[in-house]
Amino acid sequence: MRALLAILLALAASHALAHKPSDSYLAIRVEGASLAGQWDIALRDLDFAIGLDDSGDGEITWGEVKAHHTDIAAYALARLKLRSDGADCPARATGFLVDDHSDGTYSVMRFAATCPGEVTTLEIGYSLFADLDPQHKGLLRLEHGAGTRTAIFGPERPTQSFELARISALTQFLDYGREGVWHIWIGFDHILFLLSLLLPAVLALAGGRWEAIDRFPPAFWDVFKIVTSFTVAHSITLSLAALGVVSLPSRLVESGIATSVVLAALNNVFPLVHGRRWMVAFAFGLIHGFGFASVLKDLGLPQGALLIALVGFNLGVEVGQLAIVSAFLPVAYWLRASWFYRRLVFIGGSLAITAVAGIWLIERAFNLKIISA
């Protein structure tokens, strides 16, 4: 009869294992000689290994987990061997949290380890649950500098080595510089703000009408003043915010940036400020700096190379900006006297920018979504 039951199960078998298997998530960040880690292990698995459900009611509470934190650390860390160039890097738990993963709640253990010297080759030996569940896998995410690697540990591959390329300051500087260029390039709101201020640079206000200017140098110096003051202003706030000296709520910053675009573009159609547009650039540049800072923060600031990242990112932004300006100015100067430039590009373009930025403003201020991708 047992065989019959077997065929019953057999014929349903390919369908039956419908559950996510047991995995743990191990994240390790290498900084010089020290390792900072986070290890997410399913409570179910820990309960099977060391017993968490002390009350025996089939429910694991936070109190029960807390009572076992020492056991969890001892059990797990004994099954994780970290070695740098042949020497042990002893690890200790630094904090405990929990997290909800798609298949249940996990214990989150943060840990730190110190190696004898700067880590160039990290060897990781992983044997968590290897004796209890050979199907268990450890999913590693290893971060070093701006690079991230992943690996899968299991009984077939319990020990793996990772060569960590030495990240030079120059590489880091260039990485962040590239991010800065990329950000200004895809940051339509910054581009539109700058363009709104630059559009009138090849024109002069005479008796309430915009006329084409007749010499290039004034246009160039006008643009130079605007770009420089915008740069100085946003560098100030970018640095202050990135270093954590000042912080503003992102909704305020985002709305402020949208407002700056609206006002700058409207000023072209209904001129209020003309001669001192560099001051406008400076004032609103302060707000844009906060916007850049939030991007930089999301990229993650390397603790060891804060200044390099900050300067690299900022210079990247300037390079991107200069590229836009140097593409814009000659063309604008060339077309400045035409109807096309004065009516269509200058007035029409400014109105279009006002409209787009107005929608951003409403979206950002009220947390709405009007233009959806």
Which of 23, 123, 222, 318 contacts other proteins by CB under 8 A?
A: 23
From 40-48, 85-93, 268-276, 336-344, give the range in contact with other proteins by CB under 8 A. Answer: 40-48
Helical (H) or strand (E) element with 148: strand 147-153
Please report how close the Cβ of residue 370 comes to other proteins at its closest, in angstroms.
8
CA distance 264 to 280: 8
Rounded to 10 degrees, the C-alpha dihedral 361/366/371/372 comes to: 140
Which CB sits closer to other proteins, 201 or 258?
258
Nearer to other proteins, 115 or 291 (CB): 291
Please pick, from the candidates 33, 36, 98, 283, the single residue that binds other proteins as defined by CB under 8 A.
Answer: 98
* Stretch (H or E) spanning 285: helix 277-299
Amino acid, single-letter form, for residue 345: V
Instruction: Please report how close the Cβ of residue 270 comes to other proteins at its closest, in angstroms.
Output: 24
Q: Are 354 and 229 in contact (CB under 8 A)?
A: no
Could you say which of 74, 78, 186, 331 contacts other proteins (CB under 8 A)? 186
Interface pick for other proteins out of 59, 163, 245, 339 (rule CB under 8 A): 59
Q: Which residue number, 1 or 245, has a Cβ lying nearer to other proteins?
A: 1
Q: For the CB of residue 245, give the shortest distance to other proteins in the complex, in Å.
A: 20
Between CA 165 and CA 185 the distance in angstroms is 30
Phi and psi angles of residue 311, each rounded to the nearest 5 degrees, phi first:
-65, -40
CA within 13 Å, CB half, 246: 14
- Closest separation between CB of residue 312 and other proteins, Å? 14
SS3 label, residue 227: helix
- Pick 11 or 272: Cβ nearer other proteins: 11
In this chain, which of 41, 65, 93, 119 binds other proteins, going by CB under 8 A? 65
Q: How big is the CA angle at 114 (ends 306 and 42), to the nearest 5 degrees?
A: 95
Using CB under 8 A as the binding rule, whether residue 162 contacts other proteins is answered as: no
**Is residue 206 at the binding interface for other proteins, with CB under 8 A as the rule?**
no
Site string for other proteins, 226-265 (x = CB under 8 A): ------------------------x--xx--x--------
Q: Which of 227, 40, 203, 23 is nearest to 129 (CA)?
A: 23
- Interatomic CA distance for residues 335 and 338, integer angstroms: 6
- Site size for other proteins (CB under 8 A): 87
What's CA 35's distance to the chain center, in Å? 21
368 binds other proteins (CB under 8 A): no
The nearest distance, CB 371 to other proteins, in angstroms, is 4
State the Cα–Cα distance between residues 39 and 101, nearest whole angstrom.
Answer: 13
CB-nearer residue toward other proteins: 95 or 330: 95
The answer to whether residue 349 forms part of the interface with other proteins (CB under 8 A) is: no
C-alpha dist (Å) from residue 320 to 10, 69, 162, 313, 340 = 63, 50, 36, 11, 27
Q: Binder to other proteins among 78, 87, 90, 104 (CB under 8 A)?
A: 104
- Per CB under 8 A, does 85 bind other proteins? no
The distance of closest approach from Cβ of residue 2 to other proteins in the complex, given in angstroms and rounded to an integer, is 7
Min dist. Cβ of residue 24 to other proteins (A): 11
Pick one of 28, 35, 40, 263: the residue that binds other proteins (CB under 8 A): 40
Residues 255-314 that bind other proteins (CB under 8 A): 257, 291, 294-295, 298-300
Of 31, 29, 33, 22, nearest in space to 152 by CA = 22
Q: Are 225 and 275 in contact (CB under 8 A)?
A: no
Rounded Cα–Cα distance for residues 104 and 68 (Å): 18
